[in-house]
């Protein structure tokens, strides 16, 4: 189960009572590059594409990971999630302005990270952060992290239903889209399907993913409603197996990396693995 995290130099910490929390709630960030020409393309009709947690700050020191991501064939990467400072931050960061604009130009959707602390964070604080994201950067949607699995917080008039409606009613020049992503990091109550467009129903190491089980109701929805994130992969062949498992588990968006530790999303996978991953995702 995903939890709110405390920022620390070079990583994240989970509250001691929930030390098994996954690292996706660390500082998510993205990096910019000039718009690339002639990258090749893949069919957008394929049912599985990449959703990438890009954890590197957008400056010159991270350009190799950035270029590797954005040199991917057009359509291979559907979205990334940005996180300035455990959310939108306290003010505009020009590096993020440039980075997000580069991703948008490249046809990659950008979702802003907003923590909800399992529904314990006030709605007014969460909604204010949503507004900051849209007004400062311009986004395609919002990811509500640390989302609850309590059915009482889903459905008409509930906490997450209120947030879903708030995003859906956003307007203005910075509103490029109103996609709502929930990340409990595990299978939620089915009621949350009414309050989201995408749910991250798995985030964890490959060793756990191999034996994970998913309820039958997952197959009642389009694959584009689900996102699986797998880290600490053992290499190309296991990654290919992960992608096959994800497709069988009805996940329309997938990300697999060999990186592990406190921040397995601090850079892109090796060029060899990423090339094979793009091929596995786009050529079932």
Arithmetic mean of pLDDT, 74-83: 92
Arithmetic mean of pLDDT, 4-19: 28
CA 110/CA 138 separation, integer angstroms: 9
pLDDT digits (tens, 9 = 90+) for 231-247: 999 999 999 999 999 99
CA 88/CA 112 separation, integer angstroms: 7
In whole numbers, what is the pLDDT of the chain averaged over residues? 83
Name the least confident of 21-25, 126-130, 175-179, 258-262.
21-25
What's the pLDDT at 40?
Answer: 43
What's the pLDDT at 23?
Answer: 41
Six token digits for residue 178? 């109103």
Q: What is the percent of the chain with per-residue pLDDT over 90, rounded to a whole number?
A: 64
Task: Say which residue, 64 or 203, is predicted with more confidence.
Answer: 203
In which band, very low, low, confident or very high, does the pLDDT at 273 lie, cut at 50, 70 and 90?
A: very high
Arithmetic mean of pLDDT, 93-122: 92
Task: Say which residue, 267 or 209, is predicted with more confidence.
Answer: 209
What's the pLDDT at 25?
Answer: 41
CA 246/CA 252 separation, integer angstroms: 8
pLDDT digits (tens, 9 = 90+) for 144-197: 999 988 888 988 889 999 999 999 999 999 999 999 999 998 899 999 999 999
Which domains does the chain carry?
6-282 (3.20.20)
pLDDT digits (tens, 9 = 90+) for 28-73: 333 333 333 334 444 333 469 999 988 778 877 778 887 888 889 9
Angle between helix axes 94-105 and 63-70 (nearest 10 degrees) is 20
Six token digits for residue 176? 């490029």
In which band, very low, low, confident or very high, does the pLDDT at 22 lie, cut at 50, 70 and 90?
A: very low
The model carries a pTM of 0.83
Angle between helix axes 159-168 and 123-136 (nearest 10 degrees) is 20
């Amino acid at each position: 189960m995903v939890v709110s995290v405390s920022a620390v130099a070079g990583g994240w910490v989970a509250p001691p009572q929930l030390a098994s929390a996954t690292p996706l709630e660390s500082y998510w960030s993205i990096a910019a590059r000039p718009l690339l020409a002639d990258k090749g393309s893949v069919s957008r009709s394929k049912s599985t594409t990449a959703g990438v947690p890009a954890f590197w700050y957008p400056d010159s020191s991270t350009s190799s990971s950035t270029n590797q991501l954005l040199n991917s064939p057009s359509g291979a990467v559907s979205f990334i999630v940005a996180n300035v400072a455990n959310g939108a931050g306290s003010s505009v960061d020009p590096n993020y302005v440039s980075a997000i604009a580069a991703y948008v130009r490249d046809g990659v959707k950008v979702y802003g990270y907003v923590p909800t602390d399992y529904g314990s964070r006030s709605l007014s604080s969460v909604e204010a952060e949503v507004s900051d994201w849209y007004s400062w950067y311009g986004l395609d949607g919002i990811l509500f992290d640390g989302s609850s699995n309590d059915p009482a917080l889903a459905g008409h008039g509930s906490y997450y239903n209120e947030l879903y409606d708030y995003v859906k009613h956003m307007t203005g020049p910075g509103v490029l889209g109103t996609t709502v992503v929930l990340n409990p990091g595990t299978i939620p109550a089915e009621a949350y399907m009414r309050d989201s467009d995408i749910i991250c129903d798995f985030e964890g190491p490959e060793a756990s993913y191999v034996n994970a089980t998913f309820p039958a109701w997952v197959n009642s929805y389009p694959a584009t409603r689900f996102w699986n994130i797998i880290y600490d992969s053992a290499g190309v062949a296991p990654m290919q197996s992960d992608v096959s498992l994800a497709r069988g588990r009805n996940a329309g968006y997938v990300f697999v990396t060999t990186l592990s530790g406190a921040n397995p999303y601090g850079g892109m996978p090796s060029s060899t693995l990423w090339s094979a991953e793009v091929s596995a995702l786009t050529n079932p």
